[in-house]
Amino acid sequence: MFKKLAIAATLMTATLSGQAMAQENINPWKHCGIGAIIFDDNGTAAAISNIIWDLGTTAVSSKVSSADSCEGKLVTAAVFIQDNFKKVMEETSQGEGEHLVAMMDILGVEQAERANVIAAVRADMAIVMAANAETSPQTYYNAVVANI
Amino acid sequence: MLRRSLLRIALLSCITFNVLAQTALNELASHPVWQQLLHTGQTPVSGESKPFYLATEGSENPLAELQATLSAFKQNPQSQCRYPARRLFLKRYYPARYFPAVQCVDYQAYLDAFVTDSLSLIYASGYLGNPASMFGHVFLKFNSDGVHDLLDNTFSFGARVPDSDNKLAYIIKGISGGYEGHFTNQKYHHHDLTYNESELRNLWEYRLGLERSEVEFILAHLWELENTSMTYYFFRQNCAYQLAKLLELVIDTPLTEPGKYQVMPVDLIMRLNKAENSSPLYKNVRFHGSRQQALYKHYSQLNSEQQNTLMTILTAPVAQTTELLAALDDEDAKPVIDTLYDYVAFQEVRQDDVAAELQEKKRLAMSKRFAMPPGKVEWQNITPVAPHYAQFTSLLQTGLAVNNDVSAVMLRYRANYYDLLTYNPGRIPFSELSTFDLRLAYSDNRELSVQQFNLLKVINLNASQTGLPGDDALAWKLALGYRQQSKQCRHCGSAFVEGFVGKAWSPGAGHVFYGAVSGTATSSNRMGGNLAAGAEVGGVITVTPKLAISFSAGHQWYVNALSEHRQYVQVESRWLINQQWDLRATYEYLGQAEAGVHISYYY
């Protein structure tokens, strides 16, 4: 599945595929420090703190042109999941939703593959929920990465 | 002889050309679009790393800045990349001028990422929990026109407020220009999270009727404003003002209300709706409801069995959640679970710490939803009335009041925004937000007196709309200003601060009743004391969309003079004529009765 994603990314731009390859082994929480900056036990506070962090980034030019491995699509998807975890989980339980589409857009998943990816992530998270195990953004992100 | 004549002709041609060129430059420098690109007549733009203006006096002298720009574009062609909007302006209005061609790689990447055929102005409704947000907010969204807009780019103007500043410091510094304002870029999902989820505010999207080239021109100027700041003023040079001025670059009509000092976000919506050339400047309006709105929408569409199940889940022990949901078939359970999601998200905002029991109920419901076949519930779409249908925000009122056979002409000015009876579908239900509300009386004996001056009056009755536990919150009021302490006197005024805390109940749309404990502090003890406490009851009844009535009655005892007390009654009815006019009839008792009729003009 990841090969298909890499091929799609190559077709999009060389820069993007380069980022995807560079990020393959990146744990956004551990390596990019976003957890320390953004995360908080309280979901709302997490959202607000991220917005403050984002507000500080007024350099729009550097945003769109940066090739830093911590600003690529996997990390962007990780941040998106972290920020919108409540909605992402709700929509995953429902099987569809605009946050899931946005997440697929960020990851560049092909249209034809999206339903399968979401179904696989939903199945994985259903097991986690049924086992009463911890559901965290990172757990969810890992399920997504494992299924693309 | 011939040679001398030719020289004269050449010299004259040269002078004529220079005069014509200078005339053209003068005309260009006075062009409103050029002046807006420089923010002439507004707070100057400060560059954070390098100056925004190329000429020393560029903020005040558009001609000098024009000449400096022309010179820079010729001598340092790369400077065109820093000022793409100026370049577009000069290409259009000064096509004879040649500039060396340049490749602006970074700017082109920015355009590739942001430019679109469609631009929306989004209005976020007011939020009474924070003084910075009471009057609403506006921002721009560059639409991708995909199946969702969460990844669309937005630009917003706001003050950068240090974390250490408290709300009082924010008010003082915000009003007096103590903050710098910036344009910032975020993806739309941040706004969805902040407004819809975290602050429970509704968003209305006004899709503007602009051409792609016009959208690009706005983006070009936003590029020029990167890493710059402008002094922020809460009541004028705020988000609405800056966006109005930005849009005036491509919309040839004033988007701020002429003759009005303050600029409110909703005023900008009003101007888009009724610009001077009469047709609306937007193509359509979309509603993005808050999570609270989603709860009300979904709850209202549950059948009675589903509503009962949800209520039982919320009130029964956790252990019954799975059993209660299992009693429903999948198609009946899905709407209940989805509404439960809304309820828990709403409670997470309302309460600092949501009970672990409620979180566990959500987890059990979510497990059930995961175990069901996928599929969303087909909810009926319910769109509230858009905010541009509201009455305008500033008020002028005149009327006649009779008090113990003494009549007086009443004059009133309220800078903004709305009271309990103002027709304003975009506001928080059963709330009031008034600032700078001055009432004068000119009596029979030719005396002019200040009857009341409310610097600020905020009421939020917070009545429940579903009956679900925790849907309501405390009803509260805070008001401060100056007023006559009794209707028996014309010159017995004192400064005051008053408020109440209680509970409200809404028996149906448009109706609310409340009871509260109240307190008043006054600067004068003319009526017996400085500090009074007691109780107040009141409400609002909407008889028809045009006719509504508010009332309140209270009794208070002076804490520092227990034998003295004050009683008051207020009844007011409003007959809506249109967005700009209404009629009011009032009855007040404060030591003596006074009745009046008034006509209101909103602008």
Cβ of residue A66 closer than 8 Å to a chain B Cβ? no
Looking at the fold, whether B247 and B273 belong to one and the same domain comes out as yes
Report chain B's mean pLDDT, rounded to a whole number: 91
Looking at the fold, whether B135 and B178 belong to one and the same domain comes out as yes
Helix A85-94 / helix A111-130 crossing angle, nearest 10 deg: 100
pLDDT surpasses 50 at A50? no
Range of the domain at B494: 390-602
Looking at the fold, whether B96 and B117 belong to one and the same domain comes out as no
Cross-chain Cβ contact B374/A63 below 8 Å:
no
How far apart CA A93 and CA A126 sit, in angstroms, is 8
pLDDT score for A106: 93
Cross-chain Cβ contact B348/A43 below 8 Å:
yes
The Cα of B315 is separated from the nearest Cα of chain A by a number of Å equal to 22
Looking at the fold, whether B544 and B506 belong to one and the same domain comes out as yes
pLDDT score for A65: 30
pLDDT score for B494: 93
Using alpha carbons, select from B62, B110, B104, B64 the residue that is nearest to residue B87: B104
Token code pair at residue A17: 């595929």
Looking at the fold, whether B541 and B423 belong to one and the same domain comes out as yes
Chain Cα centroid distance, residue B447: 38
Name the DSSP letter for residue B373.
Answer: P
- DSSP for B205-222, written as a single string: EEEE---HHHHHHHHHHH
Cα–Cα distances (Å) from B186 to A107, B38, B114, B155, B210, in that order, read: 18, 24, 11, 7, 22
Looking at the fold, whether B45 and B142 belong to one and the same domain comes out as no
Cross-chain Cβ contact B190/A80 below 8 Å:
no
pLDDT surpasses 60 at A102? yes
The answer to whether B400 touches B597, Cβ cutoff 8 Å, is yes
Q: Which residues of A touch B190 (CB under 8 A)?
A: 47, 50-51, 54, 83
The Cα of A85 is separated from the nearest Cα of chain B by a number of Å equal to 11
pLDDT surpasses 50 at B466? yes
The answer to whether B301 touches B335, Cβ cutoff 8 Å, is yes
pLDDT surpasses 90 at B489? no
Name the DSSP letter for residue B89.
Answer: H
Cβ of residue A13 closer than 8 Å to a chain B Cβ? no
The Cα of B221 is separated from the nearest Cα of chain A by a number of Å equal to 13
Looking at the fold, whether B219 and B357 belong to one and the same domain comes out as no
Cross-chain Cβ contact A96/B376 below 8 Å:
yes
Give the number of domains in chain A.
Answer: 1
Q: Which residues of B touch A84 (CB under 8 A)?
A: 189, 193
Token code pair at residue B121: 């102005």
Looking at the fold, whether B408 and B431 belong to one and the same domain comes out as yes
| Interval B506-529 mean pLDDT | 90
Dihedral sign for Cα atoms in the order B355, B356, B359, B360 = negative
How far apart CA B347 and CA B349 sit, in angstroms, is 5
List, in order, residues 6 or more apart from B240 with CB less than 8 Å away: B138, B256, B263, B264, B265, B267, B268
Looking at the fold, whether B149 and B67 belong to one and the same domain comes out as no
Cβ of residue A48 closer than 8 Å to a chain B Cβ? yes
pLDDT digits (tens, 9 = 90+) for B139-167: 999 998 888 999 999 999 998 888 888 87
pLDDT surpasses 80 at B12? no
Q: Which residues of B touch A98 (CB under 8 A)?
A: 147-148, 150
pLDDT digits (tens, 9 = 90+) for B69-89: 999 999 999 999 999 999 999
The residue of A60, A83, A98, A135 whose CB has the most chain B CBs within 10 angstroms, and thus the best one to mutate to test that interface, is: A60
Name the DSSP letter for residue A68.
Answer: -
The Cα of B603 is separated from the nearest Cα of chain A by a number of Å equal to 34
The Cα of B467 is separated from the nearest Cα of chain A by a number of Å equal to 24
Asked whether residue B574 is domain-assigned, the answer is: yes
pTM of the full structure: 0.87
- DSSP for B350-415, written as a single string: HSSS--HHHHHHHHHHHHHHHHSPP----PPP--PPPGGGSPPS-EEEEEEEEETTEEEEEEEEEE
The Cα of A44 is separated from the nearest Cα of chain B by a number of Å equal to 6
Give the number of domains in chain B.
Answer: 4
pLDDT digits (tens, 9 = 90+) for B364-416: 999 999 999 999 999 999 889 999 999 999 999 999 999 887 899 999 999 98
Looking at the fold, whether B359 and B398 belong to one and the same domain comes out as no
Asked whether residue B556 is domain-assigned, the answer is: yes
Looking at the fold, whether B83 and B189 belong to one and the same domain comes out as no
Q: Which residues of A touch B107 (CB under 8 A)?
A: 61
Asked whether residue B405 is domain-assigned, the answer is: yes
Asked whether residue B54 is domain-assigned, the answer is: yes
Decide which of A16 and B170 is more confident: B170
Cross-chain Cβ contact B366/A93 below 8 Å:
yes
Beta strands in B177-305 (DSSP E): 179-187, 203-208, 228-232, 282-288
Which of B102, B123, B140 terminates a domain? The answer is B102
Cross-chain Cβ contact A102/B109 below 8 Å:
no
SS (H, E, C) B190-208: HHHHHHHHHCCCCEEEEEE
pLDDT surpasses 90 at A112? yes
Looking at the fold, whether B138 and B282 belong to one and the same domain comes out as yes
Helix (H) or strand (E) holding B549: strand B547-558
Cross-chain Cβ contact B375/A96 below 8 Å:
yes
Range of the domain at A22: 2-147
